[in-house]
Chain A
Amino acid sequence: MAKAILFDAFRCTGCRGCQVACKQWNDLPAEVTHNTGSYQNPPRVSADTWLVMQFREVENGDGVAWAFGRHACMHCLHPACVSACPVGALYKTDDGPVLYHDDRCIGCRYCMLACPFEIPTFQWDQGLFEGPEIKKCTFCIDRLSAGMEPACVHTCPSGALKFGERDDLIAVAEARIREHPERYVDHVYGKDEAGGTSVLYISPVPFEELGLPELGSAPIQENTEDIMTKATPAVLVGMLIGLGGIYWVVKRRQEMMGKNGGSDRQEDREASS
């Protein structure tokens, strides 16, 4: 059924093999970057870098520890980007990956705004003839459909990344926390966040230190979809009937006043009300 990736920040050594494997498999060019005083490089995901390891120094009581966070598409169960896309260029597959039809996208970039993880990126250097696209992790859909695991998982030397069925991975994650409660924060990030994601995290430090936003369990688009499916049709019908009714009443009153020999002009309805 639905595939997922488990990232265990305790097991991660920060080698960035996943970041390199992602570039190699997807044939992504290198980026020109500048020293920002951190191992984290490039500073964020972009059209040419779909997976970035984040490096944070975290105070853990008796000193400073390094916290490694994996920043790439979470392949949400209820993706906000898919809900936001006006032309359905982004779509969710039953197997888990959130994918992109480059031949549908109009380049409005609403997906970039909607994503709570700030994942979709745009090809800012592509003109009209190249046709800029939205870029992000594809869950290595080409490898998945050939029965292989994603390149990042395949390359991970320390077992920090694990690929499998989402339900199985949640069980694995909870078992690891149970076995070593001293190692982990007692929470599987992504199990419920934003309605659930296909990338799950367990971590020795609070999840915000890994660069993950604090999210509720409701899908991000819950309110906008309510507006679109409930409020909008109601407003549409209400306005048509209401305005038609106002027009009819006003016209009728004017006719009556005309008959009674009164003025055929009426005070501005807005002003008199």
Chain B
Amino acid sequence: MIGRITLRRPPISPAWVVLGALIFLALVVAMIRYASGLGTISNLNDNYGWGLWISFDLLCGVALASGAFITASIVYLFGGEQYRPLLRPAILTGFLGYLLVILALLVDLGRPERIWYLLIFWNHHSVMFEVGWCVMLYTFVLALELSPLVFERFGLKAPLRFIHALIIPLAIAGATLSTLHQSSLGSLYVILPDQLHKIWYTPLLPLMFWLTAVAVGPAMVILESTISSRVFRRGLELDLLGGLARVIPFILAAYIAVKIGDLAGSGELGLLTEWDLESGLFWLEMIGFVALPMVLFSLPAVRRSSALLMFSAFLVVSDVVLSRFAVGLIAIGRPEFAASYVPHPLEFAVTIGIVSAGVAAFGLVARYLPLFSEYAPSSAAE
């Protein structure tokens, strides 16, 4: 593969140089971290053991990779055969997303060389145990779902038929594993009944994380399709994206209902009118990043315009980022030590480098593998 790339001599455009530089910087930072410890390159401390990498790379990264299982479920399980043109890029985005999450964990974990201990030492009471297992298994499922690109490229018929026969079980496994770990990322914080701010703390956190992940799946497909259609100068399946967008308002409405219902149920609605940082964040999220895209996506005029679709999808993505940061960093009060945590610039460097690696990998796959064209299967199933 590497030989092929050099043979073709890809033109070095400024974008590749910038991406390469950012990846290189992150690599250097990671080396420093491996040599002399997390404290050297991060502001993580004993009050804030989890920082930017967990909130952004893990929580947001996994949620934003949900387009893969949503699209695969629609195409393979729910009979949405017409959405097939969106499938491969969505699965690639998801697969790269999970690889980047694992890369980030290899920087964040204290003992990254032991990440496989999750396989041999089990504590089934730990939410982290479930997250670890599901992420590992689902990354494997995504790799299988994506493997036809490689098989087609090199004309390998037998493995292609093998994956094709497995595709329905894979789609069911993918949606199940995704539901489990998308929700259990929220369950991670259910162990903070006294530390997480009351507006956010609820045993229903897993449901909220799952709902937002489901809502952001189609939004990510919209963003990824629109951007890649401009970058790679190919057609845009606007009618398909519009169809996908019709799902989003229902999920966002369910999310609002669960949010408000949960606060009402625990008698904590009064907290929303205290006008402090937490209630401000709540209203910003609910009005700006949930209600607004809910209304926008339900308007036919929005669904017919690629620019408006992109804007509304961007709002949903922002909602996921905001809600994950709220739970992961902002609403965890540690007043006892008056601790504060602001990510170190080098923490940003690692995150930016990892995202750059994902963008670069997407570009390479789009260039060298049949990402946007799919061989016509004789029939949807078998």
Contacts and interface: CB of A to CB of B under 8 A. Distances in A.
Interface in B147-193: 168, 171-172, 175-176, 179-180, 183-184, 187-188, 190-193
A158 B126 CA distance: 41
Interface in A113-163: 113-114, 116, 118, 121-133
A23 interface: no
Interface stretch (A6-14, A60-68, A168-176, A239-247): A239-247
Contacts of B111: 105-107, 131-132
Contacts of B336: 118, 211, 213
B110 A107 contact: yes
A223 B83 contact: no
A17 interface: no
Given A220-B191, A224-B191, A104 B50 contact: no
Interface residues of B, number: 72
Interface residues of A, number: 72
Interface in A42-98: 43-47, 80, 83-89
Interface string A192-206: 000000000000000
Interface of B: 33-40, 44-47, 49-50, 73-74, 76-83, 109-115, 117-118, 121-132, 168, 171-172, 175-176, 179-180, 183-184, 187-188, 190-195, 203, 206, 243, 246-247, 332, 334, 336-337, 381
A108 B128 contact: yes
B90 to A, nearest CB: 15
Given A126-B37, A228-B126, A220 B46 contact: no
Contacts of B332: 113
B35 A127 contact: yes
Nearest to B127: A224
B28 to A, nearest CB: 15
A110 interface: yes
B379 to A, nearest CB: 9
Contact of A44 (B47, B112, B128, B243): B47
A225 interface: yes
Given A106-B117, A124-B38, A246 B78 contact: yes
A107 B118 CA distance: 12
A246 B188 contact: no
A112 B77 CA distance: 41
Contacts of A254: 79
B109 A45 contact: no
A214 B35 CA distance: 40
Nearest to A101: B121
B191 A221 contact: yes
Contacts of B34: 127-128
A187 interface: no
B190 A235 contact: no
A82 B162 CA distance: 43
Contacts of B246: 270-271
A182 interface: no
A266 B79 contact: yes
A35 interface: no
A269 B118 contact: no
Given A113-B50, A221-B191, A243-B176, A228 B79 contact: no
Contact of A116 (B45, B80, B194): B194
B49 A86 contact: no
B132 to A, nearest CB: 6
B168 A247 contact: yes
Contacts of A89: 121
A239 B214 CA distance: 15
Given A108-B109, A124-B38, A44 B337 contact: yes
A261 B269 CA distance: 55
A223 B202 CA distance: 9
A226 to B, nearest CB: 8
Contacts of A107: 109-112, 114
Contacts of B172: 239-240, 243-244, 247
A84 B129 CA distance: 9
A116 B195 contact: yes
A223 B40 CA distance: 36
A172 to B, nearest CB: 28
A48 B109 CA distance: 20
Nearest to A208: B336
Given A125-B37, A240-B172, A106 B46 contact: no
A225 B130 CA distance: 12
A251 B180 CA distance: 25
Given A84-B127, A239-B172, 16 more contacts: A47-B46, A85-B126, A105-B110, A106-B111, A106-B117, A112-B46, A118-B46, A128-B34, A133-B110, A213-B194, A223-B190, A228-B129, A239-B176, A243-B171, A244-B172, A271-B247
Nearest to A132: B110
A127 B243 CA distance: 50
Nearest to A114: B191
A236 interface: yes
A224 B190 contact: yes
A87 B126 CA distance: 8
A247 B123 contact: no
